[in-house]
Amino acid sequence: VEIVNEIGRFPTRNHKRGVFDKVTAVGSTRIRDEFRVAKNSCFNCKIQCKLVTISKKHHSIGEGPEYETVVSLGSGCLNDDLDTLIYANHLCNDLGLDTISCGSSIGFAMECHEHGLIKEDVNWSDADKIVQLVKDIAYRRGLGDLLAEGVMRAAEKIGGGADKFAMHVKGQEISGQDGRAHRSGGLTHATSVRGADHLRGLSVIDEIGYPEIGLRRYGEDKLPAALNRHSEEFKGQMVYDVEYFLSVVDSLILCKYGTMYPLCYYFPDIPDILYSLTGVDLFNDEDNLRRIGKKICLLRRAFNQREGKSRKDDTLPDRFLHEPEEEGPAKGQVVNLDVMLDDYYQLWGFDKDGLILPETLDEFGLEDVKKELYK
Ligand code: SF4
């Protein structure tokens, strides 16, 4: 939380800003020292990333918050009441709500209210209102019923320019990154097949900076451009690489902690692990694993292509493209998405409109998919 705020990429006030002046109030140090009572984990994991926390004010115990929730139910709503943020997180867990979509929908409602598009009082920083809306979204009551539709559909129903405040890609609310302060993050959000998503292609080499790993993966001639989080240069390549690596990671049910944060394991490490576990020769071949990863990504993309998705859908909200960041280290920055999209499409073998070329499908043995897309 604190580090990301330092680089001006801590989404605040419904993604309008990248710096939260109350960051210490919701930061990781406070969560650890004042609210964490235990750690939990998946089977046998020594990292134990899952926090068990207590909200004394609301008499609640449960898991969280993770970084994303501190953004969506915290800085995104200008909420610095950490105890209530934690309670709202527990509620989301118990009620089966995704904290990113839920919190983002509440931040959207706050900005709509500020501009007179929602009459009901939904004011910035109102922690009790956040709790009420989490419950109302879950039980589809009042304004909660509208917000339960997500920001894209809610904005369509509200009208009057509410779409300007609906921070989504392909209908999915945006996670806790901002392409203005972290260009490859913007390209990831725009191209992710299921909508704004930080888990399918987020490059962290240029985020908080891993210069040695950047050098090892991309060579001296690509630095410092690859490490410059405010430059579009070379970000198409970085997102492309991470995307097909993470498709292998997801298929193997490996954790993102160690493959994404921090960058401990990469393609050269996977054959050793996989071959020792399975004895399958095909898995002892890094090139083959890379090919499998790319094929998975192409299949996902092909699904969207069949459903009519193309370059027009690989985009970002206007806020990221045309509203310069107002303060912090990314002040004055906007995302020049087209440059990155062109590079990314070329690497994948798509045409200018983002459609997979027939020869790309042939190259990966996806003739059946080609028949369906090009009948
Ligand atoms: S999510 Fe990953 S880091 Fe966290 S406990 Fe599970 S395996 Fe460990």
Question: What are the pLDDT tens digits along the chain (375 aa)?
Answer: 999 999 999 999 999 999 999 999 999 999 999 999 999 999 999 999 999 999 999 999 999 999 999 999 999 999 999 999 999 999 999 999 999 999 999 999 999 999 999 999 999 999 999 999 999 999 999 999 999 999 999 999 999 999 999 999 999 999 999 999 999 999 999 999 999 989 999 999 999 888 899 999 899 998 889 999 999 999 999 999 999 999 999 999 999 999 998 888 999 999 999 999 999 999 999 999 999 999 999 999 999 999 999 999 999 999 999 999 999 999 999 999 999 999 999 999 999 999 999 999 999 999 999 999 998
Look at ligand 1, atom 6, and give the residue with the nearest C-alpha. Answer: 42
- Residue 39 per-residue DSSP state: E
Task: For residues 284 and 319, state if they share a domain.
Answer: yes
Distance from C-alpha of 199 to C-alpha of 183, rounded to nearest angstrom = 16
Count the neighbouring beta carbons within 10 Å of the beta carbon of residue 15.
26
CA atoms within 13 A on the CB side of 33: 7
Give the end of a domain, one of 137, 154, 173. Answer: 173
State the pLDDT at residue 261.
84
Pocket residues for ligand 1 (CB within 6 Å)? 41-42, 45, 47-50, 255, 257
Given this model, what pLDDT does residue 356 score? 98
Distance 270 CA to ligand 1 centre (A): 18
Return left, alpha or beta for 28; rule: phi > 0 is left, psi -120 to 50 is alpha, else beta: alpha
Quote the CA–CA distance of 201 and 243 in Å, as a whole number: 4
**Number of domains into which the chain is organized:** 2
Alpha-carbon distance values, 258 to 70, 124, 212, 263, 264 (Å): 22, 36, 16, 6, 5
130 is a domain residue: yes
Ordered alpha helix ranges (H), 279-373: 286-306, 318-322, 337-348, 358-363, 367-373
Range of the domain at 35: 2-173
Q: What is the pLDDT of residue 4?
A: 95
Q: What's the pLDDT at 208?
A: 82
Name which of 330, 361, 337, 339 is nearest 348 in CA terms: 361
- Residue 155 and residue 200 share a domain: no
In single-letter form, the type of residue at position 348 comes to W
Of 133, 153, 173, which residue is a domain's last? 173
ipTM of this complex prediction, to 2 decimal places: 0.99
44, 52, 257, 264, best to mutate for ligand 1 pocket (most atoms within 8 Å of CB): 257
Best probe residue, ligand 1, of 52, 252, 255, 264 (max atoms within 8 Å of C-beta): 255
| Closest atom of ligand 1 relative to the 45 alpha carbon | 8
Judge whether 38 and 52 are in contact, CB under 8 Å.
yes
pLDDT (0 to 100) of residue 87 = 98
**CA distance linking residue 101 with residue 195, whole number of Å:** 12
User: 157 and 217: one domain?
Assistant: no
- Backbone conformation region of residue 100, classed left if phi is above 0, alpha if psi is from -120 to 50, else beta: alpha
Q: Whose CA is nearest to atom 4 of ligand 1?
A: 49
CATH (domain of 59): 1.10.569.10
Same domain, 21 and 106: yes
Could you tell me if 210 and 356 lie in one domain? yes
Whether 283 and 190 share a structural domain: yes
- The span from the CA of 293 to the CA of 268, in Å, is 14
Q: Which helix (H) or strand (E) holds 101?
A: helix 99-114
**Do residues 211 and 333 share a domain?**
yes
255 lies in the same domain as 278? yes
Distances 215 to 156, 162, 211, 220 between C-alpha atoms, Å: 46, 44, 6, 6
